[in-house]
Amino acid sequence: MNKITSFVKHNFNIDEEIISNNMTLFSIAIGKAIYKIDRNANGYLILDIDNFNTPQHALIYNLIKSIADKHNLHLDDYFMVMRSCIKYGRDCYDMCSGYGEYHDIINQTGEIVNDCCDFRADIYYNNSDDVITIGTDLNKNNTETIPKINEITLIRPRKMSAFIGSHYGSYYLTDSHYLNKDKDIMGSAIYKTTIEFFNKSNGKLNYNYPNFSDIVEDEKELYTYYESYYPFLKNKEKFVNNTKDTTIEDIELVANTLSKNNQSSSGNVFIRNLLDSHNYTFETLYKSMYPGEYPDENFEINHYDKCYANNANTRVEDINQQFHHKCIGYQTVPAETREIISELCNYMKTNNFYSMTIIE
């Protein structure tokens, strides 16, 4: 399929702060609600396109549909596997990237194959400059021994923005933390929903994930889950504003201010000087972000002192792991690459860019 990459910000007919706070708690609570319905679903559900029991369901659907319409995609053509989650900094690696999660698909001949989505979308619920998104122009069908990347997109997630593409992941600038009941509810992590698009023509999902509309009966049940994570009912005015009328029908795409900031690695003086100061080229930069894929480059990858000592969830073999595709897995990067990415992010802040695509 043709490359689809888009980063957009949405405007609403109700208070954005209310929506952001609400969906931040939603991204935490929905996993617990799914577990109650089906503990084997592992946090996944199907985004169905009707039976909206809650305004949160309608909001996510309308956000996805607005982007799909922009790219002439028909939602009826896809299984949409959804998972709400939190991305927060880890002291054991710099970034993680991929093409989506792997799910069993029953293909046209009846075989069960392990496959990932054609593309995926992230909906961000809060501002974050601690965890950024990096996207490239690779897709899941890449089979090159040494992949060729022609553009790198850096994204500073903003409240109620969304990114859609094939290959991208999270880059951690600082250590971040989960929601703290006694402090700012937003914390410094990214709160988001990820939706993976599997084309129905390729087969069907092997596991029958629950539908969104089956997870909670109504808002009241959902807010009961909220209460277990935050004193929601005591602070309800920060989250709910006449929810009966929160249909989120008026969404305006504000794409031009965010997505048309393409910068040439050779033509942009700042970027060119930054790469030159580290003896980098555009090719060196993208290769250094995926170490382990290019063993002949002789990049020095230094794991951090805390890399494994206090994190039993991170296995040595998971770092710089290829899995089934190139440019995928948990990554640590050279110190020069970390400094370059940090400087690029500062450059974006100075110029008020929320996204910036660097081309060769």
Q: What is the pLDDT of residue 1?
A: 40
Q: What is the pLDDT of residue 78?
A: 96
pLDDT tens-digit profile of 25-68? 999 899 999 999 998 889 999 999 888 888 889 889 888 888 88
- Are the beta carbons of 320 and 300 closer than 8 angstroms? no
Q: Does 180 have pLDDT greater than 60?
A: no
Name residue 105's beta-bridge partners: 113, 205
Q: Report how far residue 24's alpha carbon sits from residue 219's, in angstroms, rounded to the nearest whole number.
A: 15
| pLDDT bucket at 264, cuts 50 / 70 / 90 | confident
| pLDDT bucket at 101, cuts 50 / 70 / 90 | confident
| pLDDT bucket at 317, cuts 50 / 70 / 90 | low
Of the two residues 81 and 22, the one the predictor is more confident about is: 81
Q: Does 353 have pLDDT greater than 50?
A: yes
Angle at alpha carbon of residue 22, lines to 17 and 24, rounded to 5°: 95
CA 338, 340, 343, 344: dihedral to nearest 10 degrees? -110
Amino acid at 237: E
- Tell how far CA 200 is from the center of its chain: 23
| pLDDT bucket at 181, cuts 50 / 70 / 90 | very low
Q: What is the pLDDT of residue 245?
A: 56
Q: What is the pLDDT of residue 284?
A: 92
| pLDDT bucket at 304, cuts 50 / 70 / 90 | low
Q: Does 5 have pLDDT greater than 90?
A: no
- Tell how far CA 265 is from the center of its chain: 25
Q: What is the pLDDT of residue 319?
A: 65
Q: Report how far residue 11's alpha carbon sits from residue 239's, in angstroms, rounded to the nearest whole number.
A: 17
